[in-house]
Structure 1
Amino acid sequence: MRIGIIGAGALGGTFAALLARAGHEIEVTARGAGLAAIRADGIRLSGGYGEAHARVAAGELLTVRPELALVCTKAQDAEAALTANLELLDGVPLVIVQNGLDGVATAERIVPGSSAVGLLSIIAANYTEPGVVRVTTPATSYLGRGDGAPDAESIRLAAILSEAVPVVAIPGFRGAQWTKLIVNMLNAVPAVVGWSVQDVIRDRRLRRVVAASMREAVRTGIARGVRFGALQGLGDRRLRLFARLPLALGQVLPWLMGVRMGGVPNLGSTQQSLRRGQPTEIDFLNGAVVREAELAGLDAPVSRALTALVHEVEASGAPLAPERVLAAVRV
C-alpha cells in the first residue's frame, strides 16, 4: 500500500521504518536536518522492534497521493501540515497519531472530504539525532474515534497497520484519549529539569508533583463527564480511585509507570522537542487540562504552573533546578 507519513519524528519515523519493513511504499515529510538526513541515508530504527533501515521518499510536502496517510506531527503543527498537503489528502483515509484531545476534530475540519480516526501510541522512542530513532519501550497502539464501538473503517485501518506494529481498534476512543492525557502528565517535569522520566520518578519530591498533575487531570476529566478508557493498565475504575487518594498514596501510580519503562532512560516527547530546540506541545497536554478545567468551572493550578515552566525553558534553552518546580507547584 502507498502510505504517506506527515512528520517523520520519533513516532512518524518509527511507523515509517516498520511499515516499510512490512513491504509498504512509504513517503514521509520532514524539515531541516531531519529531512536532509532521511534523504541522505533513510531512517535508521533500533531498540524494541529490532533493527530497520528504511530508505523512503522524503520531502517537505507529499508529492504522490497516498492510499492512507498518518499525521504524526506535534499537535501544534497539525493544522498547518494538513493545510499544506490538503490537495493530495482530500478523500484519503487519515490516521491522526497525536497527543492531546483535538487531533481528529482538527483533521475533520481541515480535510472534510476525508475519514479521520485517531491513534494513541504508548510507544516510547527517542529521536535526538536526525534520521535516527531508538524505541525504548514497544507497546500496542489503540485506534478509533468517538464514544461508541469501533466502526468498520477503524477495524480495517488497524489491520493494515498491524502488519508492521500491534494496533487494536477500541471502543470508547474519547475516554482512551483522556487516559493517554493522564499518561502524558509524565512529560512536563522531566522537560523542565532536564532529567529522564525514570530519574524524576525516583525523586520523592518531584514524583509528588507528577502525581499531583495526574490527579488534577483525572479530577478534571471526571468533572467533564469522561469515562476513562482502558490503556496501559489504567482504566476508569482505577483512575477514579486514584483521584480520591491522598498524594502520599497516589504517588504509587507514577512510580509503577516508571518501573514499566525499564532501565533505558526515557526523555519524554516534550523534553526531546526542547533538546532539538523546537516548540513543545505542552499547550495540548497540561494546557489542555487547564482549558478543560475552566470549561468545568474548576481551576488546574498544577498544570497551569507546569505549562508556564515548560514555556520558560523553551524561551531560555536551559533546564531549571528542581527547586524552581517545587516553588511553583506547592502540593
Structure 2
Amino acid sequence: MRYIIIGAGAVGGTIGGRLHESGREVVLVARGAHLEALRKDGLRLATPEGTRTLSVPAVGGPEEVDLRDGDVLVLAVKTQHSVPLLDAWAARPVAGGGTAGEVLPLLCAQNGVENERLALRRFRHVYGVCVWLPSTHLEPGKVSAAGSPLTGILHIGRCTGGSDATAEQVAADLAAAHFGAPVSEDVMRWKYAKLLGNLNNALEAVGGPIDGGLRLALAERTSAEGRAVLEAAGIGHAGAEEQRAAGRDRVVLLPIDGEERGGGSSWQSLARGSGDIEADYLNGEIVLLGRQHGVPTPLNAALQRLANAFAREGLAPGTLPEPELAALLES
C-alpha cells in the first residue's frame, strides 16, 4: 500500500511521518509555505524520542501524483476544507482503470461526523478513522506529537458499518508505526464519542485552558448539551469506560525538548491565523441535531459563533475577556 496523506498538518503529518519511519511508502499533500518547506528540507517530526527530519515526498495536489491500484487516500484536513479536495481527488484516473472515487479507499482521519457523508457522495469505499492523536502544527515543515508509548489511537472501520481486508491491512500498518489501531465494526460510535470530546475545542480556543473554575463549569455544560442531543437523536457513542478499555491511557503526554505544548486543533487554527475554524462541524453538529430534535443548545451555539468570529477577525486564541466568558453561563 502507498499512503497519500491529503493534508499534512498536525494529524496528517504525524501519521504520514510515522508510517514513513516504519517503512511504508508515503506521499504528503500540502500547500503554501508548508509544502515549500517539506520539499526543501523534508518533514521535521518531533516526538518524545527526539526531533528528526524525514525525506518524505511532498506534492501540492492530485495533478502531481499518478494514482495506482493499491493506493490509500487519507483525508486529514479540517471539515471546512474537505469538499474541494474530495472533488479534486475523486475524479483522478487510476492506472488500470477507473477513477479514485470508484476504486480507491478513502480514510477520513478527521474530527466530526460530516466528512464521511461528504465523502460517500464522491467515493465508493469510505472508512472512518476516530483520531485520538495529540499533535501540533504551528510552523511550516514541522509537526510534533507528544504521545507515548503510543503516538495515538486510530479506530478504523467502514463508515457504513463493518470491516474488510483493507481496514485490517491499514490497521496492521498503523500498529507497526507506533499507533493503536483497533478495527471497529461500528467506527461512527467512536467518532460520535470523539465529537463530544471536541465540543470544548472552541471554548479553549477563545477562552484559554480549561483548568478549573468557570472554564470547567462551561466545559461540563457544553458536553452535557451534546450528550442530551445525541440521546434525543438516538445516536449511540462509546462511553468513558469503553474508551479506557481501548487503551487510551497508553497515549501519555510527555515533554518534547525545546517545545511548549499549546492547545488543541481549534486553538492552533487561531494561533496560525488560518482565517477559519472547525466549529461549524463540532459545536455546529450539536446545534443542528438539537434543532432537528427539539433540544436547546445555547452554549454550543454561542461557542460556534464566538469561534467563527475569532477566526474571521484574526483574534489571538484565549483572549475572550473574563466577563464575556462568565456571561456564557447565562446563554
Query: TM exceeds 0.5?
Result: yes
Q: What's the CA shift for 1:136? A: 2.4
Partner of 1:223: 232
1:94 aligns with 2:103: no
* Cα offset, 1:146, TM superposition: 4.4
**Corresponding position: 1:273 with 2:269:** yes
In structure 2, C-alpha distance between the alignment counterparts of 1:187 and 1:322, rounded to whole Å: 18
Q: Judging changes above 3 Å, is the alpha-carbon distance between structure 1 residues 48 and 122 closer, same or farther for their aligned structure 2 residues?
A: farther
Letter in 1 for 2:67: R
1:77 pairs with 2:81:
yes
Q: Deviations 1:184-223 (Å, cap 9, x if unpaired)? A: 1231111002x3xxxx322310111011111110111111
Provide closer, same or farther for how the CA distance between residues 3 and 261 of structure 1 changes in structure 2, counting only shifts above 3 A: closer
Alpha-carbon distance in structure 1 between the residues aligned to 2:66 and 2:81: 21
Q: Is the CA contact 1:176–1:231 (under 8 Å) kept in the aligned structure 2?
A: no
- Deviation of 1:148 (Å): 4.7
Q: Deviations over 1:3-31 (max 9, x none)?
A: 21100100010011111111122211111
Matched residue of 1:226: which SS? coil
Is 1:203 matched with 2:212?
yes
State the partner residue of 2:204: 190
1:325 Cα offset (Å):
2.1
What corresponds to 2:191 in structure 1?
A: 177
> 2:10, 2:143 within 8 Å by CA — same for their partners in 1?
yes
Unaligned 5+ residue runs, structure 2?
Answer: 94-99
Structure 2 counterparts to residues 4-19 of structure 1, below 5 A: 4-19=4-19
Segments of structure 1 that go 5 or more residues without pairing to the other structure are 236-256
Q: How does 1:52-71 map to 2 (within 5 A)?
A: 52-62=52-62, 63-65=65-67, 67-71=71-75
Q: TM-score, normalised by structure 1?
A: 0.84
Q: 1:133 aligns with which of 128, 138, 143?
A: 143
Report the Cα distance in structure 2 between the residues aligned to 1:70 and 1:146, rounded to whole angstroms: 14
Give the SS at the match of 1:85: helix
> For the residues of structure 2 that align with 1:50 and 1:159, how far apart are their CA atoms?
25
Aligned to 1:41: 41
Q: Give the match for residue 97 of structure 2.
A: none
**Aligned with 1:168: secondary structure?**
coil
Structure 1 match to 2:320? 320
Shift of 1:54: 1.8
Residues 136, 266 of structure 1: 8 Å contact kept:
no
Kept in 2: contact 1:190–1:271 (CA 8 A): yes
Give the conservation status (yes or no) of the 8 Å contact 1:26–1:56. Answer: yes
Q: Residue by residue, what CA displacement relative to the aligned partner does 1:133-155 show, whole Å, maximum 9, x if unpaired?
A: 11123322111134754344322
* AA aligned opposite 2:3: I
Deviation of 1:161 (Å): 2.5
Deviates more, 1:152-161 or 1:28-37: 152-161
Could you tell me how far apart the structure 2 residues matched to 1:262 and 1:215 are?
A: 30
Write the letter of the residue equivalent to 1:76: Q
SS of alignment partner, residue 67 of structure 2:
coil
Following TM superposition, by how much is the alpha carbon of 1:302 offset from its aligned partner in structure 2, in angstroms? 0.8
Aligned positions of 1:231-270 closer than 5 A? 234=243, 265-270=261-266
In the alignment, the residues of structure 1 paired with residue 298 and residue 116 of structure 2 have an alpha-carbon distance, to the nearest angstrom, of 27
Does structure 1 retain, via aligned residues, the 8 Å contact 2:266–2:277? yes
Whole-Å separation in 1 of the counterparts to 2:6 and 2:161: 28
Query: Is the alpha carbon distance of 1:225 and 1:262 closer, same or farther for their aligned partners in structure 2, counting shifts above 3 Å?
Result: farther
What is the DSSP-based 3-state SS (H/G/I as helix, E as strand, rest coil) of the residue aligned with 1:171? coil
> What secondary structure is seen at the aligned counterpart in 1 of 2:146?
strand
Structure having the higher strand fraction is 2
8 A contact 2:128–2:188 mirrored in 1:
no
SS across alignment from 1:299: coil
Q: How many percent identity over aligned positions?
A: 28
**Aligned-partner Cα distance in 2 for 1:17–1:232:** 31
